[in-house]
Chains A and B, each alone.
Chain A
Amino acid sequence: MSTSTPLGKLRTNGLLWPIVALVALLVVNVIARPSFASITLRDGHLYGSLIDILRNGAPTLLVALGMTLVIATRGIDLSVGATAAIVGAITTTYIVAAPDPASARAAFIGMAIALVACALLGVWNGFLVSVLGIQPIIATLVLMVAGRGIAMLITDGQIITVNNEAFSVVGAGFVLLPVSILISIAVFIGLVIITRRTALGMLIESVGINPEASRLAGIRSRTIVWMVYVFAALCAGVAGLMITSNVNSVNPNSVGLWIELDAILAVVIGGTSLAGGRFSLAGTLLGALVIQTLTTTVYNLGIEPQAILVFKAAVVLAVCLMQAPKFRARFVRRPKPPTPAIRPTAPAPVPSKVGQ
């Protein structure tokens, strides 16, 4: 396939398979239930299954966007779910305790305080990774374990219910489309502009591809790595706001539970390698949609909702195997030889280390 055709282009930038998966899922749904594709306009709001997918997928998408940058620097952030819970806890606790708990002012101040706290959590993770040099998985595990405890501490172990219209807008509001997806899309667009119009994207990729060469070229790797963890925490924080606002309450034990895993999954499906380096924000967008559509499909087809986990496992494995050079060398026909042939008997550890 030539790279000049649109299809070839999608194939080279890795977006082909996520698109195929998404389209296939949508087709299955439409066949199973033709009303799936219908979108109706009521009271100036759009309704329909497709809109639901967008709305429910908004938090995952947001977290996945932050995760994309972290993964591009060869990192990972396991603490995003706990961060979302903490943000939800701070905001709702503030609003409930405010003198005017129904006012927009209370909602804004609450959210602002929560996001500042959330940025501090990102600073914390970034400090452990970039200054102390602790492996990202381990460094963020600390907050993953302790974070929900902190959220419970804030709410005093209660499930807090709020009644604040301004706050509800974040997760449940509509401006034709759900506000949550508008926020996520806005962050997506903003991120694409920032990473691709400034040099940020290139420097992140450079640090992820070859940290030593980047250091010798004078890149401030530490600052960049630190920055992406703060950004990931902020994304998680806003996602936490969406989730709590959507149900007008916070349960510190369940807000954003396992969202880090969905986010990692979305990033991987989108074609960004867990080994770091080049990242694709568009791929992550597609990946998040694939995951949400998969969930919806399972409900739509009347399969037991719990089976979703099995599907996710299958998708993770398939994608990772397809990305693994050793698997490709053995089972996948190579398209053309820009990548030099891998000698099947060549000792794996030695050349792979040279390459890093």
Chain B
Amino acid sequence: MTEAATAQKPSSTGAPVVEMRGISIEFPGVKALQDVDFRLLPGEVHALMGENGAGKSTLIKALTGVYTIDSGQIRVGGAPVSFARPAEAQAAGVSTVYQEVNLCANLTVAENILLGREPRKAGAIDGRAMRARAREVLTSIGLHIDPASTLSTHPIAVQQLVAIARAVAVDASVLILDEPTSSLDADEVAELFRIMRTLRDKGTAILFVSHFLDQVYEISDRMTVLRNGKLVGEYLTAELSRLDLISAMIGRELGEMDALARMTASHEADSSRVPTLRARGLGRVGSIEPMDLDVHAGEVVGLAGLLGSGRTELVRLLFGADRPERGTIEVDGKPVSIRNPRNAIAAGIAFASEDRKGEGLIADLSIRDNLVLAMQASRGWARPVPRRLKDELIEKYIELLDIRPANPDALIRNLSGGNQQKVILARWLVTQPKLLILDEPTRGIDIGAKAQIMKLVATLAAEGMAVIFISAELEEVLRISDRVVVLRDRQKIAELEGRSASVNDVMSLIASHSDGSTLERNAS
């Protein structure tokens, strides 16, 4: 499969109902979309594919008027448009159902479907007509619930279908479904797909985003793949193999690879010893299925899997960021009870979250404060880290990690992403953890910083630290890991030797049909 695959000719007839050309959007410090083309034909289900940060959500929000584009052109039904608000997009026939149900749970089902274009009588909302119309719409998509009931009394899956009912109620020509299936079980997904097919056959253009490959292959006619804010290509679903799709989504970026030597930790992990971390049957309903995991001292264990496969959910349980509902954790052979991050830190576990901004940085504090934060937290407020020790640590890590600017008093918010990430790493290294968990430590940072971080991880493992490494970039995971745990659908499906495994091995594991896996999920 060639990296820059040429766009396939569409088989569908008719002019595109949505046409986006040369779309670019830049947020402070991030080029979210660069010169992306996208089109949507009537009567098709079009899947928008890409890993985290690929730009899927941004593209959707550009189309629906939540974001304004910096350059490019959007045409809906052939006419150029620039929606300033979601209401305008809706008026033009573009309806959106977001991943997190964007309805008002405190209102009734009927109101959620029709509010904004409710039937009236003598100026007032005609409650009876509204409920009747809502019932009609619900029936048309095969959902039989009381329109007068409060939305919050229904399970999330039903709420999701109500959101679709809202979109259907306007006779939208374009229906956007942004990860609508992430909280649905197999039966509910089947129901959703039945509704989608009905709408498609009536000529609605459906844009579908999901990270479940099986679903994408089941429902979609065509796909557009994005990566890092750029267009990779447009393909007919029937002509694109899973392997090719995954490699298009993950990308190889061979040029960048060559710049880095293969850096698998040289230290041979001795698996006969007691593992640094031993987790057994660790799980949480709706998060991950119970699974086992061992990590030895001096070993880098990579977690591979697509977004939503459970890789982040697993490590959050290990660190107590979410409270595990079942299972046991042992550190150095001693059972520990981890109910919150403090327990984990006390047990020698450190965790750098994938959400650097939301869960890592204390944006308005200096490099110095951010760097000693975890150490200070475990000492308590009354025992400040002595000035001299603090200065030593800061000097050491600024130099070791090449943090720039080298001014400890600079506010961390003003640093580049890579340097912010280094400060977070340093925050955990000063606590001298036994196990270091890195969730997407290289996301959104430049190639130089990436190489530095990879090298650091290898060095730490060589010095005897146990490391769990997560990255959306498979090459990266394989390059650094002694062992790779492959996750799919919130379950562990395989463990591979890092050195002997190839990207293709992992991809075919991820791509393999998850026959029966959803059934298992329901059963447990």
Direct contact of A and B (CB under 8 A): yes
A residues in contact (CB < 8 Å) with B: 197-200, 202-203, 205-206, 209-210, 212-220, 224, 277-278, 338, 340-341, 343, 345-347, 350-351, 354-356
Q: Which listed residue (B363, B379, B380, B414) contacts A209, Cβ 8 A?
A: B363
Tell me which residues across on chain A come within 8 A of B342, comparing CB atoms.
Answer: 218, 220
* Interface residues in B338-354 (C-beta closer than 8 Å to A): 340-342, 345, 351, 353
> A354 and B358: CB pair below 8 A?
yes
The answer for the CA separation of A202 and B380 in the assembled complex, in Å, is 11
Do A218 and B362 form a contact, CB below 8 Å, given A206-B369, A347-B67? no
User: Contacts A212-B358, A218-B377, A350-B66 known; A202 to B364 CB distance under 8 Å?
Assistant: no
Hey, which chain A residues are within 8 Å of B432, CB to CB?
none
CA distance A160 to B70 in the complex (A): 70
Instruction: Check B384–A216 contact: CB distance below 8 A.
Output: no
Q: Which residues from B are CB-within-8-Å of A212?
A: 358-359
Please, which residues of chain B bring their CB within 8 A of the CB of A220? Answer: 342, 377, 380
Type the 1/0 row for B357-400, where 1 means its CB is closer than 8 Å to any CB of A: 11111111100010001101111111111000000000000000
**Known: A212-B358, A340-B29, A347-B67. Contact between A217 and B382, CB under 8 A?**
no
B68 within 8 A of A: yes
- Residues of B contacting A218 with CB < 8 Å? 341-342, 345, 374, 377-378
Q: Are B358 and A205 in contact (CB under 8 A)?
A: no
B residues bordering A, Cβ < 8 Å? 27-29, 61, 66-68, 84, 319, 321, 340-342, 345, 351, 353, 357-365, 369, 373-374, 376-385, 414, 427
Partner of A198 from B61, B321, B345, B384 at Cβ < 8 Å = B384
Question: Is A206 touching B373 in the complex (CB atoms < 8 A)?
Answer: yes
CB atoms of A224 and B381 under 8 A apart: yes
7 contacts between A and B (CB under 8 A): A197-B384, A199-B385, A205-B369, A216-B321, A217-B374, A341-B28, A354-B357
CB-defined contacts of B351 to chain A, threshold 8 Å = 216
Please name all residues of chain A whose beta carbon is closer than 8 Å to the beta carbon of B384 when the two chains form the complex.
Answer: 197-199
A351 to B67, CA, bound (A): 10
Which chain A residues border B380 with CB–CB below 8 Å?
199, 220
Residues of B within 8 A of A219 (CB): 373, 377
A198-B383, A200-B382 known; 5 other A-B pairs, CB under 8 Å? A212-B359, A214-B362, A216-B319, A217-B377, A220-B380
Is B364 within 8 A of A217, CB to CB? no
Q: A210-B362, A213-B359, A217-B427 are in contact. Are A198 and B382 (CB under 8 A)?
A: yes
Q: Which of B358, B378, B381 contacts A213 (CB under 8 A)?
A: B358
Given the complex of chains A and B, what is the CA–CA distance between A188 and B199 in angstroms? Answer: 68
Q: Which residue of A lies closest to B414 (CB)?
A: A338
A216 to chain B, nearest CB (A): 5
Point out the residues of chain B lying under 8 angstroms from A341, CB to CB.
28
Residues in B whose Cβ lies below 8 Å from that of A197: 384
- CA of A90 to CA of B376, assembled, Å: 40
Smallest beta-carbon distance A126→chain B, Å: 15
Q: CA A224 – CA B342 in complex, angstroms?
A: 15
B321 engages A210 (CB within 8 Å) = no
**Contact partner, A343, options B68, B340, B377, Cβ 8 Å:** B68
The answer to whether B362 and A209 touch across the interface, beta carbons within 8 angstroms, is yes
Knowing A216-B341, A341-B28 are in contact, say whether A199-B381 is a contact too (CB < 8 A): yes
Q: Are A200 and B381 in contact (CB under 8 A)?
A: yes
Closest to B410 in A: A338
With a cutoff of 8 Å between Cβ atoms, the chain B residues found around residue A356 in the complex are 358
A202 in contact with B376 (CB, 8 Å): yes
Residue from A205, A212, A218, A354 having most chain B Cβ neighbours under 10 A: A218
With contacts A338-B414, A346-B67 taken as known, whether A213 is within 8 angstroms of B361 at the C-beta atoms is yes
With contacts A209-B364, A216-B321 taken as known, whether A351 is within 8 angstroms of B377 at the C-beta atoms is: no
Best-surrounded residue of B345, B357, B381, B383 (most CB of chain A within 10 A) = B381
Assembled-state Cα–Cα distance A219/B382 (Å): 13
- A214 to B29, alpha carbons, bound, how many Å? 24
Residues of A near B28 (CB, < 8 A) are 340-341
Cα-based distance from A220 to B374 in the complex (angstroms): 11
Which of B321, B363, B377, B385 has the most C-beta atoms of chain A within 10 angstroms of its own C-beta? B377
